[in-house]
Chain A
């Protein structure tokens, strides 16, 4: 697999160019370094075992290429690495570790034992280091690959030890690292045994979705959407969560660059942006993004832990990610009514979690039928309204069954989109008023108007001061063909006050508010013409199947489910 390279001491000049820093912060960082070494050695199976959160003992066993006995001693010396030969190579790092610091750093704060055998050698070697004291390598026989055992981490650095969390906390950190590595390397089988119990197992199937199912759970994995295929390629691929999986924290966003987990705030920001209008502000999507970037197009040497990187083609990647997430969201299927006993769908393409409950149907991996017609971006084109029930829902006939449209949610989406467009396109259409509408503002809203006047006028309002406590509205924006009521100004100002954040997202917040304000309320009777008009206008939108808060605007009741309810099946 990986070509065997001899280990040598790095030239001094190169050592100096490498960002210095402490690598070994806690057990999880030891695990990460050791696993990355194993991956570099071409391991197909990696077993991590920890005791006491890794403070008592960490062992990493791999089936990789192993270390030549002659190199064993060199392996634990500072800046000894088999991965870089000269300065030019630093800009083309294809492997995980490269600084040659890892084993040496770990050895300096623990009792370290390495046992390894290469494929072509009958006999391997064993080496023990304790603090800075090295014993010589001794012959050892065992399976091909490398085993590294780290005991009594930080035994000689009591200060560091004091800053370490409880074994439970540390075990959690280790698990997080192993999970990331398993997601980043779906073709490698990972096993984490913590305190004698297996806590993570991945089979190394090579399929990202399956790796997600294995390290998290099948139901979660089953809901994820592949990044839009038109935007994925050898460089970027991955999975993104539908709106109902969005989270208050970004703890399930994984960016895996060449198998290594990185944090990249620019990508996180792109995810949030691509999600706007699909989930409430402040919610963050779940995403697992796999990046395979040519080593010479990325600088991983920004930070000693290598979690921060710099991309040469940052703009291209963020654009691709944005469009990939958008495409994934638009390709979602209309939510299907989850009828009890109606699980195990005939069109459930994910075979690895039979019986999982899918509240939301996701993009297909190749099943045909009417799938294109029930995507959230297409469904309204294919609906034929039949009437209204409970003054709240529109009943419609559509591909493969019966559809219920939530009229309020649908209107919210409609008005959100038009209001958003209003704020994004310069010089929007606006109607002059016969008599200026006087809107009374208190001190706070008056201040907000002074602050946000530009945004307000971008939306199509023409507002002038009118005495100390009021403004005169001379023009109002046209929303969905009709002039908006002047009173909307006050509500937008109040909403801008609540947000008090940066301009772009607040404009969107104002758009969302305008949407709610102008929406048809639930409980309002609609005539046949109004219903047809609403459905037709929804069909023209980009993402009509989801309301701006991420709730569905329409649900599907399939023929098979109706049959089941009537016990016809």
Chain B
């Protein structure tokens, strides 16, 4: 193999693929990047067996071939070269590369490319296209609510529901649900559902943002994988969560079915919650905020046997019966971070059922949070 390529393009490609390199204790070959040179293109691939990333850059291919080089070292070397053409050449019979730039020369030992795992093939049944920017927003607004509990693997990620010209991202840990929903003209026809593992979501969001921006991504679904093909030539794939994702949304009331509705300023409420939460301390580490909704007020109270008490109130327009209800502070605060724009509607039924938060003019995102069990 022998290629000549531009330093900045090579570095960008390595930075992209590098995200998929496996961490410390994995098989050594998974810490490498696979370089494949053919027909004016250099493919740079990496995988940790769960997710895979492939970047392509233009290159003068003098001799096609492939090679696996240690990812971290290659990335560091290329990153420290200020610019210009870099030549990578490898003899046929040795798993070793010579990297030259001007008078610099690096002989880097690698691994045999045939030991590198084959990346999954994007030959699934379902295919659609979606705006990468929309997908990034949907994923990053919901992923926080996914379960981090190992005992509930089926909900440890974001469920994507695609079809009928819409795309919906849902995440839950069983105690709150974050839902982001938007039109996706490229996702017509049959409705498909997959769940992307929490760990892969973060990488997918970064890859989509840097490699696609607001352009469309084409997506292919197979039984066990989801594949993203981005306009810049970058490919991302990840395994899917196994098991039937529970139909949590069917369990919560529809927007019109709540008896009490409060309208108030999102930022005021978020501020009051984060302040009172400082003194919210119950036994066993619970941090309950007690909300009281009545006519023109939303009152937030917290107390701690050790620290003292906190009281706050904000203006609100409350329609329906007054209500007292307890929430874990964290669940309110995390939800509020993702709700926009400024006014929000807080809908509740009673002190035991689900409550729904949604921006007044926001049809894309809502958040359902379950209260704590009412206390004596």
Contacts and interface: CB of A to CB of B under 8 A. Distances in A.
B177 to A, nearest CB: 6
Interface stretch (B10-18, B62-70, B285-293): B285-293
Interface in A461-481: 462, 475, 477-481
A425 interface: yes
A480 B285 CA distance: 5
Interface stretch (A216-224, A349-357, A426-434): A426-434
A479 B285 CA distance: 7
Contacts of A434: 172, 174-177, 248, 251-252, 354, 368, 370
Interface in A400-444: 418, 421-422, 425-435, 437
B368 A478 contact: no
A435 B288 contact: no
Contacts of B248: 434-435
A504 interface: no
Given A421-B284, A434-B175, A434-B177, A485 B149 contact: yes
A480 B282 CA distance: 10
A487 interface: yes
B151 A487 contact: yes
Contact of A435 (B246, B282, B284, B286): B246
A480 B175 contact: no
Interface string A186-208: 00000000000000000000000
A435 B251 CA distance: 6
B74 interface: no
B373 A432 contact: yes
Contacts of A422: 283-284
Most chain A CB neighbours (cut-off 10 Å) among B286, B328, B375: B286
B284 A481 contact: yes
B246 A418 contact: no
A431 B373 contact: yes
Contact of B286 (A429, A433, A487): A429
Contacts of A437: 174
B372 A431 contact: yes
A355 B279 CA distance: 53
B283 A462 contact: no
Interface residues of A, number: 29
A425 B282 CA distance: 12
Given A429-B372, A431-B373, A432-B372, A478 B285 contact: yes
A462 B246 contact: no
Contacts, number: 82
Most chain B CB neighbours (cut-off 10 Å) among A483, A487, A537: A483
B328 A431 contact: yes
B92 interface: no
B175 A483 contact: yes
A427 B376 CA distance: 7
B284 A432 contact: no
B334 interface: no
B148 to A, nearest CB: 9
Contact of A475 (B149, B284, B373, B376): B373
B152 A477 contact: no
B174 A478 contact: no
B300 to A, nearest CB: 17
A428 B328 CA distance: 13
A432 B283 contact: no
Contacts of B172: 434
B352 interface: yes
Given A431-B372, A435-B246, A418 B174 contact: no
Contacts of A486: 174
B371 interface: yes
Nearest to B251: A435
A481 B286 contact: yes
Interface string B175-192: 111000000000000000
B370 A432 contact: yes
Interface string A95-106: 000000000000
Contacts of B376: 426-427
A487 B174 CA distance: 13
A83 to B, nearest CB: 56
A124 B192 CA distance: 110
B352 A432 contact: yes
A460 B177 CA distance: 22
A418 B284 contact: yes
B347 to A, nearest CB: 15
Nearest to B326: A429
Contacts of B251: 434-435
A428 B151 contact: no
A514 to B, nearest CB: 11
Contact of A431 (B151, B177, B252, B370): B370
Contact of A462 (B174, B285, B328, B373): B373
A315 B348 CA distance: 52
12 contacts: A421-B284, A427-B375, A428-B283, A429-B372, A430-B373, A433-B174, A433-B370, A434-B172, A434-B368, A475-B373, A482-B285, A486-B174
Given A435-B251, A482-B149, 8 more contacts: A422-B283, A429-B372, A431-B370, A432-B353, A435-B174, A478-B282, A481-B287, A485-B152
Interface of A: 418, 421-422, 425-435, 437, 460, 462, 475, 477-483, 485-487, 537
Closest 5 CB pairs of A and B: A481-B285, A429-B286, A430-B373, A435-B251, A432-B370
